[in-house]
Amino acid sequence: MSEELRPIDKLKALVRQRSAERDDLPLEERRRAMDATLEVFGVPEGVEVSETELAGMKTDRIVPAGKTPQGRFLYYHGGGYVLGSPRSHRHMTALLALKTGRELVVPDYRLAPEHVFPAAVEDGLAAYRALLDEGHAPGDIVLGGDSAGGGLTLAVLLKAREEGLPMPAAACLISPWVDLKCNSGAYESRAEADPMIDQSGIAEMAALYLGGASAGEPLASPLFADLTGLPPLFIQVGDAEVLLDDSRLLAERAKAAGVDAMLDVWPEMIHVWHAYYPMLPEGGRALEDIAAYLAKRPGAARLSA
């Protein structure tokens, strides 16, 4: 009798199959397929979801039901700057709201190729500025995102610093894509282990987003930016993903710039494994670790009934 596959092995097989099925689909169909994640996993009980508008963008605002959050978590979804939406990530952002006790604010920033760099950065900054304009203290706000959303988080922080805006309390980056040159060593060393991302595919997404801009532009690839003055960074990445070196190098360069950066590498985990928490225990535990990290930051959310 054969041994039953572990949840992570089942997930890798499923992701390989889904990735192969979607690779050749037209972009709009790939977008619809990604948004359909919400129908597959659903939203956990205990949250209230409002589809609102922020800085001219459709925006999810998610709070723990019956509680008043004392902090905000501005979250930028992933999808390579060409896919994804608040809807595609709602199952995960809803659980983050429950775990952190914060209001999750998820803007529907503009995507490429219809809107190339720096459109996403402009929208991301506009969302952060709008929260400040609502009267929220910067110390009560955290920023974060997954994959391209992790890179966008850093780009927004850099642009906010450039424009003299106050920094938020912290930033949480999940499998961040911060180097659009897409040529680090992990693209080779983790090629077989990663069931989701391959070098040619992600380079194509980078080209769509850049629209002719240089991949070395700091606001497109924050790995090459001066990171001085950024808030504390909590970086989570899986050991089985080709973006592993993005996180490793980011943590090194952030620390060299005097930034409080914590790198959390998860053995065997794939790109943004958090999104699969309904079928992967490590996904839920990683989100709990984000909540635990934020609970120790100044301005940590405290809920009132």
> What residues act catalytically?
147, 241, 271
CA gap 260, 252 in Å, rounded: 11
Q: Which pair of structure tokens corresponds to residue 188?
A: 């080779």
C-alpha closest to that of 76 among 167, 143, 131: 143
The residues near 266 (Cβ < 8 Å, ≥ 6 apart) are: 236, 237, 238, 239, 273, 282, 286
Helix (H) or strand (E) holding 73: strand 72-76
C-alpha closest to that of 209 among 86, 78, 109, 118: 118
Question: CB of 71 within 8 A of CB of 103?
Answer: yes
Helices (H), 190-233: 199-210
Put the strands of the sheet holding 47-54 in their side by side order. 47-54, 57-64, 103-107, 72-76, 141-146, 170-174, 233-238, 261-266
Which residue type, as a one-letter code, is found at position 63? V
